[in-house]
Structure 1
Amino acid sequence: MSTAKTSESVSTELVPVKFSRLSRRGILLGLSLSQLVTLAVGVLSVVSALYSGGGILLAYTAPVWVLATCLTWISIAGRPAVEWLPVAFWWLWRTTGGQLAYRRRVVVPRPVGTLALPGDQARLREYTDPDTGAGMIHDPHQQTLTVVCEVTHPAFVLLDPGEQERRVTSWGRVLATVCRSGRIATLQVLERTLPDSGTGLAEWWASHGTADDTWAATTYAELINRAGPAGERHATTLSLSLDMKSSARQIRTAGGGVRGAAAVLRQEMNTLVSALRSADLTPSGWLTPGEVAVILRSAYDPAIAASLERHGDLGQDLATAGPVAVAEAWGRIRTDSAHHSVLWISEWPRSMVYPGFLAPVLLSTGIQRSFSLICTPLRSDAAARDIRKKKVEHISDQAQRAKIGQIEDAAQTAEYHDVLQQEADLTAGHGVLRYTGLISVSASTVEELDAAVAAIEQTAIQASCETRLLVGQQAAAFTAAALPLCRRI
């Protein structure tokens, strides 16, 4: 009797979780490949100078080995200086090439089936599934096919601890289902704040009101039609991206091409819907091309989002869903009616936290933002090989440090324990995913944007997370953080 009560109490208790640390182990003695290259250049310059001419050549080559030493050991914003070189060179290349600004040429017709998006997203193609009517986005370069589903769910923070734990376990089964097939390239969870357009009042009047042409009914209907946005609401979407390279055999069996890929993706869609329903999540159906176009247009032009939602027949065309103008700066990007900045969650909580730890970020009011969680699943065999490789590297590095007399620090020990925990989870039947968290903050002016970014950074601190501004790559980061297209950076 007491044993049964104990097991029941344990099952209704919310269990804290812990995230793996961001690996900073490097290739050799904590140094990355770029650090090893610059360090080798500096050492070779010193050795060559000493063997060739002694002290005088050592003085002449001082700029080389001093610069190499600085690039290797000096850190800027938490990263070695040498790792900023690719970002700086790529930014310089795009600046000289005029790639920081985009203007839509409205008088030039676009090819049929293409999306009017800037940058690398211009190569995306539109495909409508004939069986489900879902709008699928095909990337011919990355060989992916993406579909979007809107999901509704009750407020997680208002549930009792037992129900929260049950839903967390069920969501874990959903992620494990995504990992098992080996055909999914990316799963993206996008949670957005949108201005409430007042459609709830209109829907209530349409279902409960009496339109009898009386003065009261006419006046009430006019007031509802003139009502503007009030407050904000939250919308959640799941985006599923099929890896057409790993699914080549199944695609050929289904007929080949995009049509065959759509048939294979439909199987994954049915599996995901069943898993979501088992987790007490309510998928509202796969979005049509028009509904996807509304999401894209609202991300680039937030001022028109309420009107697009209120009038369902507007903006439902992927050929015109992109922005009219885009201007990228070092730390932000400006689109049609707003300024945006994208933050990267560089460090998840290191201590034990409960599943609702992101509540300060997701429930922040008065800030228009999008939270994107990009999950890259690994097949069980690939994950096992990766874990074995990490274990061997950790053990070899530990032996190397012991040989040269270097002390093992707590961070390296914690990373090794994380690898062992991943191996245990994989053995227990769980899936292994790589998470990338992005937060896109939007505002109408630069001053409001700076204040909103500071507020989001503060809420991230309350959630035990560390965030960094993705400087020099805001355009690519915005498409990954604010658009449900399973894009990566």
Structure 2
Amino acid sequence: MASTEQTTGTELEPVKFSRLTRRGVILGLSVSQMIAVGIGGAALVLAFYMGGGILLAYSAPIWVLAIVVAWVRVGGRPLVEWVPVCAWWAWRTTGGQLLYRRRIVAPRPEGTLALPGDMARLREYVDPETGAGMIHDPTSGTLTVAVGVTHPAFVLLDPAEQHRRVTSWGRVLATVCRSGRVSALQVLERTLPDSGQGLAEWWSAHGSPIDGSWVATTYAELIDRAGPAGERHATTLSLSLDMRAAGRQIRTAGGGIRGAANVLRQEMSTLLAALRAADLDPSGWLSTGEIAVMLRTAYDPAIGPTLERHGQLGQQLATAGPVAVVETWDRLRTDSGYHAVLWISEWPRAMTYPGFLAPVMLSTGVQRSISLLCTPMRTDQAVRDIRKKKVEYISDQAQRARIGQIEDASQSAEYQDVLRQESDLTAGHGLLRYTGLIAITAPTSDELDSAVAAIEQAAIQSSCETRLLVGQQAAAFTAAALPLARRV
């Protein structure tokens, strides 16, 4: 995201997001498209060299199919790019990987998480100094920790305060980029069914239920009825340490998972200081019990109010996973909920102000989780990446001019985005890659369809484009609804 207008004072500045690049290897063609075109071209040339005529007709199915799969688009992508998705889905279907049933009798290894799929390899570790619950992924080489954050409603602040908070949040992201050891920063905002416990506690502390007045009686009845039907918002930040990039520091700190925890603790202190400087109130690093409750309520949303009323229940990661999971092409069914995950494929292309996601964030009657995964790049890596993109754009432009192909406006806009990123990087800002996911939950399949339609309409009001992540709903759900900084 880069600002394209300069304002004075404390005026709120409009911003413009960089476009999702669609530049291919040569002339806008991706590697898969080039392979398909190459196969079709080879079949056509071979038929010509072998005499043409009837051989062209015999080879027609090959090169015609190559043209179709390379250029015909379905769902916004060429047919050839659907091949790996469908192949992976077929392999998982034949291998029985779309169903998960928990083995209740068989004990789980100590320190592991009772989660489906490849998340069964995750390990838990309790930091002895902070008490934070850390999640270790031995395959990807990451160590992740989460912190709860409270903040005022952004849309209710005046423009000057909004501008100040946006600038402060930019400093937080820049701090994450400078480290070079952070694999990802996940911002997870969830709506949860409210049990009414908070309203009841507030009324018992500040109300006057014992005076017997008509006002007190009516207010108490209203709280009893409205509490369980309400919803509340919860925000967490997940910080993931790249153990490979921090290998030298980990060995210096003692090595192993304990040394990685010591290095991650340094990043945690830096992040907390940056959050407090941005007027965000971190409520403390989540313990293994709090993470277990989040995992349990994500897979079993109906149990959320019960766990909230009884604070000691569901505090074990070994029992926090789902009992059953069934994945289909376009949705996921778990213990007591149906889920669908949308990918924010296009951010606003026009100038927009911070808070543009308010229609999605403040949508009522829909239980959903919005996950913003920020992948930071070190300054030297960002400089090399931008330089490479500039060379590729200039080379493609020269190639198009040589063959007489007209350059369209989208290609020019993508090149201007690269120049804008270079300018922001020179000005001291960090470069991050954003991935936006929205996990929608409902108790029935029909209600899920209605909720997905409502969120898609809210995304349109936010000037965003969303796509349903078909064929990978299980992996997308773990990235969108769980505070584990997972990638899709």
- TM-score tier by shorter-chain length is over 0.9
Q: Taking structure 1 as reference, are residues 222 and 418 closer, same or farther at Cα in structure 2, changes over 3 Å only?
A: closer
Q: 1:34 corresponds to which residue? A: 32
Q: Residues of 1 paired with 2:184 and 2:208: CA distance? A: 48
Deviations for 1:415-469, whole angstroms, at most 9, x for unmatched residues? Answer: 0000000000000000000000000001011110001000100000000000000
> AA paired with 2:35?
V
Q: Residues of 1 paired with 2:222 and 2:434: CA distance? A: 46
Q: Residues of 2 paired with 1:285 and 1:253: CA distance? A: 27
Deviations for 1:66-101, whole angstroms, at most 9, x for unmatched residues? Answer: 111101010001100000000000000000000000
Q: Residues of 1 paired with 2:62 and 2:365: CA distance? A: 51
Q: 1:264 corresponds to which residue? A: 263
Correspondence 1:379-394 to 2 at 5 A = 379-394=378-393
Q: 1:162 corresponds to which residue? A: 160
Q: Taking structure 1 as reference, are residues 161 and 205 closer, same or farther at Cα in structure 2, changes over 3 Å only?
A: closer
> AA paired with 2:180?
G
SS in 1 for 2:433: strand
By how many angstroms is 1:204 displaced? Answer: 2.9
SS in 2 for 1:11: coil
Correspondence 1:75-94 to 2 at 5 A = 75-94=73-92
> AA paired with 1:288?
S
Deviations for 1:197-253, whole angstroms, at most 9, x for unmatched residues? Answer: 1221343366558999xxxxxxx9999999962311100000000000000000000
Q: 1:449 corresponds to which residue? A: 448
> AA paired with 1:31?
L
Correspondence 1:27-426 to 2 at 5 A = 27-204=25-202, 207=205, 229-426=228-425
CA contact (8 A) 1:193 1:233 kept: yes
Q: Taking structure 1 as reference, are residues 360 and 211 closer, same or farther at Cα in structure 2, changes over 3 Å only?
A: closer
> AA paired with 1:105?
R
Q: Residues of 1 paired with 2:323 and 2:259: CA distance? A: 34
CA contact (8 A) 1:198 1:310 kept: no
> AA paired with 1:448?
E
CA contact (8 A) 1:185 1:241 kept: yes
Deviations for 1:109-136, whole angstroms, at most 9, x for unmatched residues? Answer: 0000000000011100000000000000
Gaps of 5+ in 2: 1-6, 211-218
SS in 2 for 1:61: helix
Q: Taking structure 1 as reference, are residues 227 and 112 closer, same or farther at Cα in structure 2, changes over 3 Å only?
A: farther
Q: 1:434 corresponds to which residue? A: 433
Q: Residues of 2 paired with 1:176 and 1:341: CA distance? A: 32
By how many angstroms is 1:310 displaced? Answer: 1.6
Q: Residues of 2 paired with 1:354 and 1:225: CA distance? A: 39
Q: 2:214 corresponds to which residue? A: none
By how many angstroms is 1:408 displaced? Answer: 1.1
Deviations for 1:386-427, whole angstroms, at most 9, x for unmatched residues? Answer: 000000000000000000011111000000000000000000
Deviations for 1:282-307, whole angstroms, at most 9, x for unmatched residues? Answer: 00000000000000001000001111
> AA paired with 2:127?
D
By how many angstroms is 1:31 displaced? Answer: 0.4
Q: Residues of 2 paired with 1:10 and 1:228: CA distance? A: 45
Q: Residues of 2 paired with 1:209 and 1:77: CA distance? A: 55
SS in 2 for 1:349: coil
Q: Residues of 2 paired with 1:371 and 1:222: CA distance? A: 33
Range moving further from structure 2, 325-334 or 54-63: 54-63
TM-score, structure 2 as length reference: 0.95
CA contact (8 A) 2:196 2:230 kept: no
CA contact (8 A) 2:185 2:237 kept: yes
Superposed CA RMSD in Å reads 2.0
> AA paired with 2:228?
P
Q: Residues of 2 paired with 1:277 and 1:385: CA distance? A: 33
Q: 1:476 corresponds to which residue? A: 475
> AA paired with 1:176?
A
SS in 2 for 1:44: helix
SS in 1 for 2:8: helix
Q: Residues of 1 paired with 2:243 and 2:142: CA distance? A: 6
Q: Residues of 2 paired with 1:449 and 1:109: CA distance? A: 34
SS in 2 for 1:10: coil
Q: Taking structure 1 as reference, are residues 345 and 224 closer, same or farther at Cα in structure 2, changes over 3 Å only?
A: closer
> AA paired with 1:334?
R
By how many angstroms is 1:57 displaced? Answer: 1.4
Corresponding pairs, count: 476
Q: Residues of 2 paired with 1:437 and 1:261: CA distance? A: 28
> AA paired with 1:323?
P
- Percent identical among aligned pairs is 75
